[in-house]
Structures are given as C-alpha cells and as structure tokens.
Amino acid sequence: MWRRISALALALLLWNTNLAAAAPQSITRDDQKDVMVTIYNGNLGLVKDTREIRLDAGMLEVQFADVAAQIDPTSVHLKSLTDPSGLKILEQNYEYDLLTSAKLLEKYVGKKVRLYQSNGTYQEATLLSANGPVYEINGQIHMGHYGQVVLPALPDNLVSKPTLVWLLRNARAAAQRVEASYLTGGITWKADYVMAINPTDTRSDLTGWVTIDNKSGGTYSNAALKLVAGDINRATDPRREGRVLEKAALASPAPNASRDFREETFFEYHLYSLDGRTTIKDNQTKQLALMSAAEVPVDKHFTTTEPPITTGPPMACPCRTRRWACISI
C-alpha cells in the first residue's frame, strides 16, 4: 500500500515539475535595465535591450516581450552578460500572430464555446464558422450574434504583442542580465535647419534639429541614442556593415549629460551621439536640438547671367537677363 502511495506521489511530483518547466518565463519591459538605439539612413535601426530576470536551472522557455513590430528576425542575437558560458540558446522563435477578436474566433472553429445571455444564463455551442458567426446549438444551426461569446482559454499561438521566444539551457538558477540585439525597420532620422535673417539682411540665427520618425512598433524608454549619417549597403558587403554597426554601438554617453550631440567620423560615415538619454515612443515624431548659432554674419550679393546665344527664332523670354540673390555665411 505504501509503495502505491509513494509511486503515486512521485508521479504527481514529476507531473507538477514538468508543468512548471513547461510554463514559459516572461521578460517584459518592466525588467528592462538599459536600452540603446542606433538609427541609420535607409529606414533601419539597431536596438540593444538589456533586461534582468532570475532564470531557473535546466531547460526552459523564455518569452522576451515588448520588442519592435518591424523587427528583422534573422538579426536577433541574445547573450547573457552575467554568465555567458552558462546560458545556451537551443531554439529561437518570433511570435507575431497578434491577438484580435476575429483571430480568436478563427482558432475556435469546430470547438465548444459558451454563449451568455443578458440574464446571466448561457448555452453550450459549437462554433462552425467565424464569419457571421455560425453556431450549432442542440443540433440546430444559428447564424449571427447569439449572446456574448466566452472562450475557455487563450490559444497558445496568439500573442498580445510581438514577442521573441527562446528555448534555453541554463547552468544554474540565478539572476541574470541578458542583452537582446536586433535590427528593425520603421525608424528614420533627418536633419532640418532653420535660418532667421534680420531685417537688414546682415545677421541671422541658425538652428539645426534632428527629426526622428518612429513607426517601428516599439517604444524605447530612456534610451541612449546614436545617429549614423551615410548609406548602409546591407547586401554587397555584410562584413563591412557588421563592423560599422558594431563600432557605432560601442560609444557610451557621458555621465554628465549635456543633451548635445557629439560627432565622430569612421569610414565614410558620421556618428552623432546624444549626450544624455531620451524616450522615443511608437508612432511619434521627435525633434532634438542638433546645433544653434546666433548672430551669424550674412553676405548678400547679386549676380547676373546672360541667356545662351542661338541662331534660331527669338527666345520666348520677357527679359534678356536673370537676377540671382546669393547668401553666404
């Protein structure tokens, strides 16, 4: 009798252990410790996202949520900053089948659901089609909305936001800092300049702005920001691009942030690093001060050009000369 009880207890213990191991660990933006964004020309950004979580020992599944929706899955790289040799990546997935009411119904076609009425009662029904929808209730077919649909559980292959999923083998249970880096589209930058000239056309105030347009599907809170000027050719020379991306990501912001941009030159590119941090929200256009100069001297002069001499009929031009206004600073 005791052997049976012991065997049953052992089986339950193993079953509960397997369930615990099967439950994925979630790493969200709340676990974020640092994030760095490098924006290149050509609708391309490099994100380095550092988060901290306690990982169990053994084989486990980890969900890394709150990543950019326009992520390039082939560029994703995960590493442990705490124990690089003890954390091994066995499998990597990118889940982007986002949760909607229509997709929820599609996942339950052919399955049992509950239809609740306004008085609190419900009926068991089989969902035959999500288009309509169409139900089978007690052998009869009902079309259209027939009460509030309640589903028993969320399907495994639907996520509420884009998520990276890893199957890992961890050497020891401990708190770890992990860094996920990836390329994403949907984020661009450009420089805009405004010059205000005084009434006598002798002095001007010049202001430069960096304009960032973020449609990547991700929000980058309190991020270290770097901007790279120069076209990145990703197809013809991937090794060279890798050196450029790596060097651009090495610079660190100064401890005493002045909120100015520092310029560096490497290869034929220019790197501008924000001396400080900023938050770039999804679907946001942000402007940051690049430079400013007051009382810039203006030299205004005029030049004239003669039209070309032709042997044909007279030119259909009301005047023989053009007048150009040129400003140099």
Digit-coded pLDDT (tens) for 83-133: 999 999 999 988 876 667 777 788 888 889 988 888 888 888 898 888 888
Contact (Cβ atoms closer than 8 angstroms) between residue 32 and residue 221: yes
If one compares 302 and 148, the residue with the highest pLDDT of the two is: 148
State residue 167 phi and psi, 5-degree precision.
-100, 115
Q: What single string gives the DSSP state of each residue in 261-281?
A: EEEEEETTEEEEEEEEEEEE-
Q: What is the mean pLDDT of residues 263-288?
A: 84
Helices first, then strands: H and E counts in the chain: 3, 21
pLDDT attached to residue 58: 93
Q: Which residues are within 8 A (CB) of 124 and not within 5 positions of it... i.e. 6 or more apart?
A: 112, 113, 114, 137
Tell me which range, 17-31, 118-132, 173-187, is most confidently predicted by mean pLDDT: 173-187
Measured distance CA(87)–CA(78) in Å, rounded: 10
pLDDT per residue over 31-80, tens digit each?
Answer: 999 999 999 988 999 999 999 999 999 999 999 999 999 999 889 999 99
Strand arrangement of the beta sheet that strand 134-137 belongs to: 140-143, 134-137, 122-129, 112-116, 148-150
3 residue type, one letter: R
Nearest to 305 by CA among 323, 287, 292: 323
Measured distance CA(254)–CA(274) in Å, rounded: 9
H helix or E strand, kind and range, residue 107: helix 101-107
> Which range (26-40, 142-156, 295-309) has the least confidence?
295-309
239 residue type, one letter: R
Question: DSSP alpha helices (H): ranges in 149-188?
Answer: none
Q: Strands 87-95, 163-170: parallel, antiparallel or unpaired by DSSP?
A: antiparallel
Q: Strands 58-65, 25-27: parallel, antiparallel or unpaired by DSSP?
A: parallel
**Domain range summary for the chain, segments of one domain joined by +:** 23-97+159-189+219-290, 101-150, 301-328
- Other beta carbons within 10 Å of 298: 15
> Which range (34-43, 95-104, 176-185, 294-303) has the least confidence?
95-104
pLDDT attached to residue 78: 93
Q: What is the mean pLDDT of residues 121-149?
A: 86
User: What secondary structure letter does DSSP report for 73?
Assistant: G
User: Which two three-digit tokens encode residue 196?
Assistant: 């205000």
What is the residue-averaged pLDDT of the chain?
79
Whether the pLDDT of residue 183 is over 70: the answer is yes
Report percent pLDDT > 70 for the chain: 71
pLDDT attached to residue 16: 45
Measured distance CA(178)–CA(50) in Å, rounded: 6
Measured distance CA(52)–CA(62) in Å, rounded: 12
CATH number of the structural domain 101-150:
2.30.30
pTM: 0.66
CATH number of the structural domain 23-97+159-189+219-290:
2.60.40
pLDDT attached to residue 279: 96
